[in-house]
Amino acid sequence: MGACCSSPADNYEPGSKQAAGSSSAHHHHHHKNQKQEAQKTPDFGLGEDFEVIKLLGTGGEGETWLCVDQRTKREVAIKLVRRPIPRSITQIIQREIKILADLGDGHLNIVHADEVLLTKTHVGLVMEYVAGGNMVAFVTKRREMRESRGGLCIDEDEASFFFRQLIWAVQFCHKNHVAHRDLKLDNTILDHRDPPRLKLCDFGFAKAWASNSNMDTMRIGTPEYMGPELISGRAGYDGKKVDVWAAGVLLFVMLLGMFPFEMEDENYVNTAGLYSIWIQQIRTSWQESPHNNSAVGKLTKDCRDLLDKMFDVNQDSRITIDGIIRHPWFSRPLPEKYETALAQLQEEQRAIDSRVAGGNYRSKERDAQLQMLLDKATIPPAAGENILLAGVGRTPHN
Ligand SMILES: Nc1ncnc2c1ncn2[C@@H]1O[C@H](COP(=O)(O)OP(=O)(O)O)[C@@H](O)[C@H]1O
Ligand SMILES: [Mg+2]
């Protein structure tokens, strides 16, 4: 049985004071214990400017907290990582922050980053707060009633509604020469609308901290979402093709509530776990795997065909993001509420596209500020050091 979405969201209760659960399947064991703990808000050294409200998610090195920006009275999400950060990785972090600031400002389906903070104890990435929780929680909730939808957690219409938004976000990243490399349900969050907008988050801000640790796999993906070329590590891989594979896994999990290729035991750190996934990927088509036997029959022919092309073991012949967009399943006619919401989204997106044409939202000045801030983050705080703000993406509030 898949741990793809059941466990992490055990902790999830919208609007409650409880933790929003793990961001990755293989971390969820730690978080079970947190469930009963009363959440007292820790001191991140944010001072008067931010009121810390509740924990939204926990990753390898960082925590994301809902806060209120007292200057604007707006709710924001702040991803916080403890100082000092190793100097060797400030480049990686800077890159990740830039990506979110640049791309999030340019696309409605990518979470928007406002600024980076340096406190006595932490580095914080301030983002727009996306109130609807992550897709893990969403799919988990739907899983209970899946029999009423022909065994699907999310039916194909609704899945297509979300999948289109995801693919638009990924297309935008690829156009800007960025591969996400960690696409999964945990890294897609939903807003408060009905039907919700999907936003891609997590470009590795926190994971970069852990990147000197033994295995690189933490940084480049979650085993169940990893393409075969990534696991085998034989030749170089193309981050864009890896994104396509992972998006296929994401679609499959949305529909069926289980992984198409599953770790035989939870012991993923063991390369045997990775190997077992790889064997499933290359041995036979996903449709012929006994594990997926009952699943396949629940999907339409078009949907199976698209998944087939995304789960192409050969990255050279694997369908591309543009190919996905041209595929008939992608543009299947949807119920009116979805079509209307998507049309509205696309119209707003076009307005943004014309505003930022030419990528003129990137700022040299901001990059330099960021560099200075990250340099400071590598050393212990000076006595009496105060909160620093580096505006990214938007005009800084000062
Ligand atoms: N901007 C945001 N608004 C609301 N929730 C968020 C936001 N960013 C992250 N989260 C929540 O926190 C979790 C972890 O965030 P993520 O960026 O994926 O960090 P990590 O590197 O720890 O995986 C997400 O799965 C989501 O539930
Ligand atoms: Mg994440």
pLDDT per residue as tens digits for the range 111-164: 988 888 888 888 899 999 999 999 999 999 999 999 999 999 999 999 999 999
- On whether both 115 and 243 belong to a single domain, the answer is no
- On whether both 245 and 333 belong to a single domain, the answer is yes
Q: Relative to the alpha carbon of 183, which ligand is closest? A: 2
For 337-362, what is each residue's pLDDT tens digit? 999 999 999 999 999 988 876 555 56
Which tokens hold the place of 202?
Answer: 């997590």
Q: Give domain status of residue 14, yes or no.
A: no
Any idea which residues carry the catalytic annotation? Answer: 182
Which tokens hold the place of 288?
Answer: 């012929």
**Ligand 1 pocket test target in 110, 182, 202, 209 with most atoms within 8 Å of CB:** 202
Cα 297 to ligand 2 centre (Å): 31
The mean pLDDT value of the chain amounts to 81
What CATH code is carried by the domain that includes residue 32?
3.30.200.20
- On whether both 277 and 168 belong to a single domain, the answer is yes
- On whether both 166 and 285 belong to a single domain, the answer is yes
133 beta partners:
none
Query: Does the CB atom of residue 126 touch ligand 1 within 6 A?
Result: no
For 249-269, what is each residue's pLDDT tens digit? 999 999 999 999 988 766 556
Q: How confident is the model at residue 103 (pLDDT cuts 50, 70, 90)?
A: confident
Q: Give domain status of residue 311, yes or no.
A: yes
Residue nearest to atom 13 of ligand 1 (CA): 57
Cα 297 to ligand 1 centre (Å): 34
Which pLDDT value is given to residue 358? 56
Which tokens hold the place of 203?
Answer: 């470009």
pLDDT at 22 over 50: no
- On whether both 157 and 110 belong to a single domain, the answer is no
pLDDT at 25 over 50: no
Domain count of the fold of the chain: 2
